[in-house]
Amino acid sequence: MKKLIIVIFTLCFINSVQATEVAVVDFRSALLQSNIGQEAAKEPKQKVAEMDARLKKSRKNLKHQQKI
């Protein structure tokens, strides 16, 4: 009887271990690597580049005003 219980428990345990193998999909990475994702990312990147250029220009003006 003990052997039967051990065998049943072992079979249940083996099945539960196999059930834990789960694949994880990174949707953000997949989207950014696709053509549609790259096209959608162009506009925000362009806006960030424009904002960075304005920030550098403002810093340059501030440094110039500090010297005066």
Is 50:41 a contact under the CB 8 Å cutoff?
Answer: no
Which of 47, 30, 31, 29 has the alpha carbon at shortest distance from 39? 31
Question: What's the average model confidence in pLDDT over 35-53?
Answer: 90
Does residue 67 register a pLDDT over 90? no
Token pair in block for residue 41: 């990312």
Token pair in block for residue 55: 């920030």
**The Cα angle at residue 64 between residues 58 and 68, in degrees rounded to 5:** 140
**The Cα angle at residue 43 between residues 38 and 44, in degrees rounded to 5:** 95
Query: pTM of the entire structure?
Result: 0.49
Return d(Cα 8, Cα 22) in angstroms, integer.
24
Does residue 20 register a pLDDT over 60? no
